[in-house]
Amino acid sequence: MHQAGQQEHLIETPAARVWRWTLAPEHSTGHHRHEHDYIVVPVTGGVLSVTGADGETTAMRQVAGQPYAGNAGVEHEVVGADTGEVVFVEIEIL
């Protein structure tokens, strides 16, 4: 079992909720399902290991400052797979 990553709640408005995640090597977001569409903005970049609801695991390289979007209903666990911390900001669109 992985250790829990650090999650910090930054902002909440009627339209959005913003979190900062810090994942050290082998630290995890925990298995979760996104209830809302979301945008991720990598702060540091780095490599993450992503395991989907089907159990398939893939490596994902984030690039600092290069955002990407995800849809409500996505179910996965994200684990720090780099040699240092990986930091990203997640914006949930409410």
pLDDT tens-place string over residues 34-47? 999 999 999 999 99
Query: Distance from CA of residue 60 to its chain's centroid?
Result: 11
Q: How confident is the model at residue 10 (pLDDT cuts 50, 70, 90)?
A: very high
The whole-number pLDDT of residue 26 equals 96
- Domain borders along the chain are 3-93
Distance of CA 51 to the CA centre of its chain: 12
Q: Are the C-beta atoms of 39 and 21 separated by less than 8 Å?
A: no
Structural contact between residues 77 and 29, judged by C-beta atoms closer than 8 angstroms: yes
pTM to 2 decimal places: 0.93
Which residue's entry shows tokens 């609801």? 53
pLDDT of residue 5: 95
The span from the CA of 55 to the CA of 43, in Å, is 27
- Residue 82 is given by DSSP the state S
Instruction: Identify the bridge partners of residue 75 per DSSP, sorted by sequence position.
Output: 33
Query: What is the CATH number assigned to the segment(s) 3-93?
Result: 2.60.120.10
Of all residues in the chain, the percent with pLDDT exceeding 90 is: 97
pLDDT of 1 above 80: no
